[in-house]
Amino acid sequence: MGTRPKLERVPAARKRGAAAVAEAVLAARRIAMTTHVNADGDGIGSEVALVHLLRDLGKDAWIANPTPIPPRYGFLLDPVAAHDRTDDAAAALKAADLFLVLDISDLGRLGNLAPTIRSRDLVTACVDHHLSPGTLPAGPRLVDATASATAELIHDLAAVAGWPLSPEAARALYVGLLTDTGGFRYANTSPRTLRVAASLLEHGVDPERIYERVYATAPVGRLRLTAEVLETLVTEPEIGLSWLTVPPGAIERHGVTADDLDGLVELARSVQGTRMALLFRQLASGKIKVSFRSVGDVDVAAFAHPFGGGGHAKASGASISGALDEVQHTVLAAARRLLANRAVS
């Protein structure tokens, strides 16, 4: 057992959302947690922290994701591996009496689990920090786009509810904060983000060890993949546009996973003069996943909406139907129009 996290400057609306989610959790016995396909450090860290928090409350809680947890986050699962039921996620969802969806508000981002969640007609609680209209079944919401990460909201949930935060739960939440802020470098890093990080450090987090596990254990295939993708870099400095393309079969050829693409679009954003950066890759479904990043006042969340995507003002994404060259032509044309118009204005 740990100690309670500090209840420091939690916004009033966030307190209300946290109280509603906590009430639903306390009323349930069997809680299934899930997050979006190709889960990232924030979604996984939030799930793992909640396994610790809820099981300390005497709840039967488990993880059931649409896609496997990437190997780089396996160290978080060591104490809770028995509670990861992703291998049989649909059945695991059917055993729950409450769904807790993390880091996403849209049913469509839950992949092959969406039909099960839709058909169960259960209360579906949600904790998320993305801008989204939300398409999940009804339930309490702790959603705040001003939060740096879903992990920050889980910290606040525990603080509002008075749930003790163990060192293991704090470690998982720190991973969520670290990865969604780019190591506390991105614009979503606020003074409050750092206060929450400080609270987690006070619960026994070792930041150097976490950095090593998340960022300094890259398989050689990830580096070779990075080199191949960087060969595709195209820049249009006159308008500030840069983009990369993952060659078909590159992930399989280098023996890595989609998680090993994490951070590549940031390399395109780092090109001097870039205002918008994009990364294109083909999904197994046949759709094209496009990651958007921006510098300055370009809002890529708004840019992604017409393509069925969303996210944050400086980091968003969309999955678009069509052949790779067709999607690139359409998206790049829209990006050029946006950047050219902003340059004129």
pLDDT of residue 33: 97
> What pLDDT is attached to residue 78?
87
Report pLDDT for 155: 96
Contact 53, 169 (CB under 8 A): yes
Q: What is the 3-state secondary structure (H, E, C) of the chain?
A: CCECCCCCCCCHHHHHHHHHHHHHHHHCCEEEEEECCCCCHHHHHHHHHHHHHHHHCCCEEEECCCCCCCHHHHHHHCCCHHHECHHHHHHHHHCCCEEEEECCCCHHHHHHHHHHHHHHCCCEEEEECCECCCCCCCCCEEECCCCCCHHHHHHHHHHHHCCCECHHHHHHHHHHHHHHCCCCCCCCCCHHHHHHHHHHHCCCCCHHHHHHHHHCCCCHHHHHHHHHHHCCCEEECCCCEEEEECCCCHHHHCCCCHHHHCCHHHHHHCCCCCCEEEEEEECCCCCEEEEEEECCCCCHHHHHHHHCCEEECCEEEEEECCCHHHHHHHHHHHHHHHHHHHHHC
Residues 220-251 pLDDT 10s: 999 999 999 999 999 999 999 999 999 999 99
Q: What is the per-residue pLDDT for 8? A: 61
CATH pick for 220-344 out of 3.40.50.970, 1.10.240.10, 3.30.420.110, 3.10.310.30: 3.10.310.30
Contact partners, residue 13, CB within 8 Å, separation at least 6: 144
The conformational region for residue 121 under phi > 0 = left, psi -120 to 50 = alpha, else beta, is: left
3-state SS track over 274-298 = CCEEEEEEECCCCCEEEEEEECCCC
**Averaged pLDDT for residues 133-145:** 91
- How far apart (Å, rounded) are the C-alpha atoms in residues 279 and 224? 17
State the residue for tokens 């969309």. Answer: 318
Tell me the C-alpha distance between 143 and 20, whole Å.
Answer: 11
Could you give the percent of the chain with pLDDT greater than 90?
82
Cα–Cα distance for residue pair 274/134, rounded to 1 Å: 31
75 is written with which tokens?
């160290």
Asked if residue 50 lies in contact with residue 68, where contact means CB atoms within 8 angstroms, the answer is no
Backbone φ and ψ for 144, nearest 5 degrees, come out as -150, 110
* Residue 221: other Cβ atoms inside 10 A: 16
Name the residue with tokens 């904790």. 127
Per-residue pLDDT tens over the stretch 163-217? 999 999 999 999 999 999 999 988 899 999 999 999 999 999 999 999 999 998 8
In this prediction, residues 20-40 reach a mean pLDDT of 96
Please give the pLDDT value at position 121: 85
- Tokens 């829209």 — which residue? 334
Distance CA 126, CA 139 (A): 7
Could you tell me the residue ranges of all domains in the chain?
12-215, 220-344
Please check whether residue 167 is in contact with residue 205, taking contact to mean a CB–CB distance below 8 angstroms: yes
**Sequence-separated (6 or more) residues with CB below 8 Å from residue 68:** 86, 87
CATH number of 12-215: 3.90.1640.10
- Is residue 344 pLDDT above 60, yes or no? no
Phi, psi torsion values for 30, nearest 5 degrees: -125, 110
pLDDT at 345 over 70: no
- How much is the mean pLDDT over the chain? 93
Q: What's the pLDDT tens digit per position in 48-65?
A: 999 999 999 999 999 999
- Over residues 286-339, the pLDDT tens digits come to 899 999 999 999 999 999 999 988 888 899 999 999 999 999 999 999 999 999
